[in-house]
Amino acid sequence: MPTYESDGLRLHYDVVGSGPPVLGVHGATGTGSFEWAALAGELGDRYRFLIPDLRGHGRSDHRAGQIGIEHVHDDLLALLAREGLAEAHLLAFSFGAEVALDLELRYPGTSSSLVLVSPGLGDPKSSVPTRAQLEAGWPRSLRRLHIERHGEGHWLELMVEVCDHAARRPKADLEALAAIACPILLIVGSKDDPRRVRQARLFEEVHDRCRLIVVDGARHAAHKDRPLEVAAAVGTFLDEVTTTSGPGRA
């Protein structure tokens, strides 16, 4: 279990497979292994997956009040530097997809390509769940991922902070999205929040190198509901863009 340092925190990550680098960014209260181990197992014969536990998650250190996207950016850049990479393909889900997208907007050229599963583009009109709603409905599979390292109620503190940041996040600038230079694959479930499906369709419309796949019958975590279908789609996309542009620069 390799580790690296960022902002005084010790952060953990896994490495799976060999080949062009793919940086996997998990969703809120997930972990790297929980999110991407199965997909990396399917594609590890031709891609090298770097799968971190984001700060505050899983085996990585936590600092209250600093779970925001800008802090995670710095951590991911530190991991790429630790691995001697100037860029990588980014594979990301939900909150992680927002992190990956914003990373490329702020630091153009970081991503060889973007694979975004159930991304959000920001919606100032959307309501933020309360602490009580989170306690009533958050999946048990996600709650227990952090108990050993951070304690029983840690997942809730994470989610409250993530939701607070999300409430203040501005709506995405479509012109900025259109200007992203790398190819993009968007994956959403047909049963995901309809706003996310609409936003993904809009993203595909404004970006001329963006491809959208709507996974029939899948919910928010399409890669969990249809793991083999999503892994095949990701593999096909990465094979195409790697053939066209080559692997991430070392």
Q: Please identify, in words, the CATH class of the domain defined by 3-245.
A: alpha beta
Could you count the other beta carbons within 10 Å of the beta carbon of residue 246?
10
pLDDT digits (tens, 9 = 90+) for 4-55: 999 999 999 999 999 999 999 999 999 999 999 999 999 999 999 999 999 9
Predicted TM-score (pTM) above 0.85 = yes
pLDDT at position 124: 58
Mean pLDDT of the chain: 93
Would you kindly state where each structural domain of the chain is located, as residue ranges? 3-245
pLDDT above 80: residue 246: no
Residue bearing the bigger pLDDT, 122 or 188: 188
Q: What is the dihedral of CA 78, 82, 84, 90, to 10 degrees?
A: -50
3 state DSSP class of 141: helix
Which of helix, strand or coil describes residue 6? strand
pLDDT of residue 248: 41
The span from the CA of 23 to the CA of 78, in Å, is 12
Confidence of residue 1 (pLDDT cuts 50, 70, 90): confident
- What pLDDT band is residue 72 in, cutting at 50, 70 and 90? very high
Q: What is 70-127 written as a DSSP string?
A: HHHHHHHHHHHHHTT-S-EEEEEETHHHHHHHHHHHHSTTSEEEEEEES-----TTSP
Cα angle 135, 126, 227 (rounded to 5 degrees) comes to 65
